[in-house]
């Protein structure tokens, strides 16, 4: 955990992605301790925006082009680090052609490589970016009980329906807990974001922003039973740092600004952007989902204050329009 009296070196995997970028920004803005960051990026991807995040970014960020499946390369990035934030994991809204190669292997083997390298380096805590997708869908969850950190995605249910991203996140996280159980001296804490919204600092559109973008151009996709809520990406980044720096933090931390129906999210977006062709969903788009305002109670108890979801939606939408991913004047088609 963080030592408040010295400079500290930490590793962030997938540092130039959406969550990774905001996490790097949050770490750079901390004064006590003063973080230096070993930032892993997928080879040939662009990390240039990371150096715009802080006046000292150039001197405090070291870039490591790393395929997470390469254990030697992963080890080189984690060596001499006191902590690791393992964010890197493939995420897409499209159905994979080869689920094993595109999603499962990078998520599971990549997590194992990070944990093994962390153990060799003497890292005391690894903060794992898991996902709401490792908690739902769970068809056997008690009716009228709000989802909490004890819920696990039903992997077989997802496999039968070809939903491979939840499978990848669930199997990767379960591997992390098994590793923690078998290896003394290394700690693991997991953060479970929902749909992350906010300003796009990187050039590419991430999967969570694509959910909003598709909704605003008329998509009727209800996200099935995977939807639990949204969260500002800066709150996700703060949650990672918070659980890293809090010695008593342990286990899984749900990170959403409340659990609610996708229909209510769509209604909020429509109220903010009435000129856009946003589909009106039935109130019960997901039967059995129990809303909960303070679902992320464990993070709230640690001191995290969540950003109003309206602000996250507006920042995300304006960013999508500014970068040309969404027309500022809605199409009439």
What residues act catalytically?
169
Maximum CA extent, the chain: 60
CA distance 27 to 34: 8
Alpha-carbon gap, residue 231 to 264, rounded angstroms: 14
The three-state secondary structure class of 306 is coil
Q: What's the chain's length in residues?
A: 333
For the chain, report the end-to-end CA distance as a whole number of angstroms: 53
Q: Report helix, strand or coil for 178.
A: helix
Per-residue three-class SS string for the chain = CCCCCCEEEEEEECCCCHHHHHHHHHHHHCCCCEEEEEEEECCCCCCHHHHHCCCCHHHHEEEEECCCCCHHHHHHHHCCCCEEEECCCCCCCCCCCCHHHHHHHHHHHHHHHHHHHHHHHCCCEEEEECCHHHCCCCCCCCCCCCCCCCCCCCHHHHHHCCCHHHHHHHHHHHHHHHHHHHCCCCEEEEEEECEEECCCCCCCCCHHHHHHHHHHCCCCCCCHHHCCCEEEHHHHHHHHHHHHHCCCCCEEEEECCCECCHHHHHHHHHHHCCCCCCCCCCCCCCCCCCCECCCCHHHHHHCCCCCCHHHHHHHHHHHHHHCCCCCCCCCCC
């Amino acid at each position: 955990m963080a030592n408040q009296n010295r400079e500290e070196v930490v590793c962030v995997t997938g540092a130039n992605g959406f969550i990774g970028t905001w996490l790097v920004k949050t770490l750079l803005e901390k004064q006590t301790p003063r973080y230096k960051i070993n930032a892993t990026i997928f080879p040939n991807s662009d990390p240039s925006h990371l150096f715009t995040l802080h006046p000292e970014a150039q001197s405090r960020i070291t870039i490591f082009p790393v395929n997470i499946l390469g254990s030697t390369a992963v080890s080189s990035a984690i060596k001499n680090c006191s902590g690791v934030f393992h964010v890197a994991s493939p995420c897409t809204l499209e159905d994979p052609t080869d689920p094993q190669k595109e999603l499962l292997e990078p998520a599971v083997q990549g997590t194992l490589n990070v944990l093994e390298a962390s153990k060799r380096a003497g890292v005391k805590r690894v903060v794992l970016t898991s996902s709401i997708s490792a908690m739902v869908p769970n068809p056997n969850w008690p009716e009228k009980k709000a989802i909490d950190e004890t819920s696990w995605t039903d992997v077989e249910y997802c496999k039968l329906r070809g939903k491979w991203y939840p499978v990848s996140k669930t199997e990767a996280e379960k591997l992390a807990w098994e590793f923690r159980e078998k290896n003394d001296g290394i700690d693991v804490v997991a953060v479970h974001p929902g749909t992350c919204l906010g300003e796009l600092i990187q050039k590419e559109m991430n999967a969570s922003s694509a959910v909003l973008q598709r909704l605003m151009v008329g998509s009727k996709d209800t996200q099935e039973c995977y939807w639990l809520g949204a969260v500002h990406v800066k709150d996700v980044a703060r949650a990672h740092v918070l659980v890293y720096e809090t010695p008593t933090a342990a286990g899984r931390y749900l990170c959403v600004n409340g659990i609610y129906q996708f229909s209510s999210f769509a209604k909020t977006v429509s109220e903010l952007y009435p000129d856009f062709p946003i589909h009106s969903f039935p109130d019960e788009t997901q039967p059995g989902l129990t809303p909960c305002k303070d679902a992320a109670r464990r993070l709230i108890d640690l001191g995290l204050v969540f950003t109003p979801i309206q602000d996250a939606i507006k920042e995300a939408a304006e960013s999508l329009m500014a970068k040309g991913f969404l027309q500022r004047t809605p199409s009439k088609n």
